[in-house]
Amino acid sequence: MIILGVDPGLTRCGVGVIEAGASRRLSFIHVDVVRSDPHASQDLRLLAIYDGLAGKLDRFAPDAVSIERVFAQSNRNTVLGTAQAAGLAMLAAAQRGIPVALHTPTEAKLAITGNGQAHKIQVERMVMRFLNLNARPTPPDAADALALAICHALRPAGALQGGEREEHLTEAQREWAKAAQKAAHAHSVDRGM
């Protein structure tokens, strides 16, 4: 199953693509940042982000898109731009019939490191380990996008959690869910649970 993670932002929108294979094996495919000119008008910035995200979705044809859930911050302009970029990612995915999942930063940190309050450097190191990378993905937006994709892949019991109904899953998602459930069952049997 191919998962595209999006760390939304109006100036820099991180995009990370991974493959979730059998036995929960994760492989790196791509990482990048879609940018908009901070000196351009708001409408042109949104268009640049949308075009960049649409291009990534068309190029990688993911089975799922994992987007950082926007949460309240003290800087209203940052929240607004982040929310707009997240909405564009959801729109681009919906236009292509690709299921979307939203994950909070805390959920991603917890899935990657086991600690919902982990520091960015800890998350980056674990992304490197999960994907067998020799260097940290840069800029941080790109690493965060990979973390969101990994978070989605590592959800308990695969793609069948989070309120998703099996009939709405793609064949790749069903296969991944079965493999993840089988791996989780084998792990619990090995540990005598």
Task: Choose, from 7, 19, 107, 175, the residue flagged as catalytic.
Answer: 7
What does the DSSP assignment read for 134-154? Answer: SS--SSHHHHHHHHHHHHHHT
Cα R_g (the chain), whole angstroms: 16
Predicted confidence pLDDT, tens digits, the chain (193 residues): 999 999 999 999 999 999 998 777 899 999 999 999 999 999 999 999 999 999 999 999 999 999 999 876 666 777 888 999 999 999 999 999 999 999 999 999 998 898 889 999 999 999 999 999 999 988 888 999 999 999 999 886 444 334 444 444 455 555 555 554 454 444 334 434 4
Q: 19, 107, 124, 141: which one is catalytic?
A: 141
Nearest of 54, 13, 46 to residue 139 by alpha carbon: 13
Domains of the chain, with CATH numbers?
Answer: 2-190 (3.30.420.10)
Choosing from 19, 63, 68, 107, which is the catalytic residue?
A: 68
Please say if 68 is a catalytic residue.
yes
pLDDT of residue 24: 75
Task: Please report, for residues 16, 98, 107, 149, 180, the alpha-carbon distance to residue 11 in angstroms, rounded to integers and kept in the order given.
Answer: 16, 24, 24, 21, 36
Task: Mark whether 141 is an active-site residue.
Answer: yes
Q: Residue 175's pLDDT is what?
A: 58
Reference 12, options 44, 31, 36, 46; nearest CA is 36
Spatial neighbors of 155 by CB under 8 A, at least 6 apart, are 111, 161, 162
Cα(58)–Cα(56) distance, rounded to whole angstroms?
Answer: 5
